[in-house]
Amino acid sequence: MTLLELHRIGHSYFGRSVLSGIGLTIGAGEVVALVGPSGSGKSTIAHIAAGLIEPSEGRVLRRYRRHAMVFQEPRLMPWATVARNIGFPLRRAPRARIEAAAQRAGLMPEDLDRYPVELSGGMRQRAAIARALIAEPDFLYFDEPFTALDVALKRRMQDLVIAAAGAARFAALFITHDLMEAIRISHRILVLDAQGRGIAGTRVLPGVPGGRDDAEVFALRQDLLRTDPLFAHIHDIDERARP
pLDDT tens digits along 209-240: 989 999 999 999 999 999 999 998 787 655 44
Residue 27 CA to residue 171 CA, distance in Å, equals 7
- Count the neighbouring beta carbons within 10 Å of the beta carbon of residue 141: 25
Quote the pLDDT of residue 239: 47
Nearest CA-CA partner of 200 in 209, 210, 192: 192
182: Cα within 13 Å, side-chain hemisphere: 25
Tell me the one-letter amino acid at 175: I
pLDDT < 70: residue spans in the chain: 236-243
Residue 14 CA to residue 22 CA, distance in Å, equals 19
- Count the neighbouring beta carbons within 10 Å of the beta carbon of residue 182: 28
Residue 178 CA to residue 217 CA, distance in Å, equals 12
pTM: 0.92
